[in-house]
Amino acid sequence: MTIDVGRNQLRASLSRHQAAAAVLDSGASAALLLFYGAECGLKSSLLERHGLRSTSQLPEHLRAHHDLKLLAKELRLPRSLCDQIHSCTSQQDRRQRVEFRDLHQAWRYGHSLRKEHEEQALVVLHDLLDWCRQELRV
């Protein structure tokens, strides 16, 4: 089941998740909150740009998934930013890739990622959040 929310709820969640992540400072819980904050910000921006009131009005492929790269491309974010959104390598098995859209699961369930890949993913999340805050003026 997908829960639908409006623009203002998404904006508030963006701010709340980012503030909570700042309190935690680092670690998987902070990363998870940054991921969800970026997702809320990108979806709020989509609603704003298309004059929509609720996520129920988004196409299913944008509404029910956590694909930040897809959302960024849909919003036509700068290519330089979109190109940084890529998979990470698992710490346990360097042949195993964790797609960017699945990072929330890795952090939620305690799956270790290669440190340098995780650090780069966090930089991207901060860049996405900065873009959202400028776009939404929050």
Kindly tell me if the per-residue pLDDT of 127 is higher than 90. yes
Kindly tell me if the per-residue pLDDT of 132 is higher than 90. yes
The runs of H, that is alpha helices, within the chain are: 7-24, 28-50, 60-63, 68-74, 79-82, 103-109, 115-136
CA dist 73 and 42 (Å) reads 10
Torsion of CA 110, 128, 137, 27, to 10 degrees: 30
Question: What does the pLDDT look like over 92-122, one tens digit per residue?
Answer: 888 899 999 999 999 999 999 999 999 999 9
Share of the chain above pLDDT 90, in %: 91
Kindly tell me if the per-residue pLDDT of 8 is higher than 90. yes
CA dist 105 and 86 (Å) reads 15
Q: Give whole-number Cα distances, 53 to 43, 68, 93, 118, 138, in Å.
A: 11, 20, 43, 34, 18
Judge residue 135's burial from the number of C-beta atoms within 10 Å of its C-beta, 0-12 exposed, 13-18 middle, 19 or more buried. Answer: middle
Q: Which of 42, 44, 18 is nearest to 122 (CA)?
A: 18
Question: What does the pLDDT look like over 27-41, one tens digit per residue?
Answer: 999 999 999 999 999
Output the average pLDDT for the chain. 96
Whether 114 and 88 have beta carbons less than 8 Å apart is answered as yes
Give the pTM: 0.95
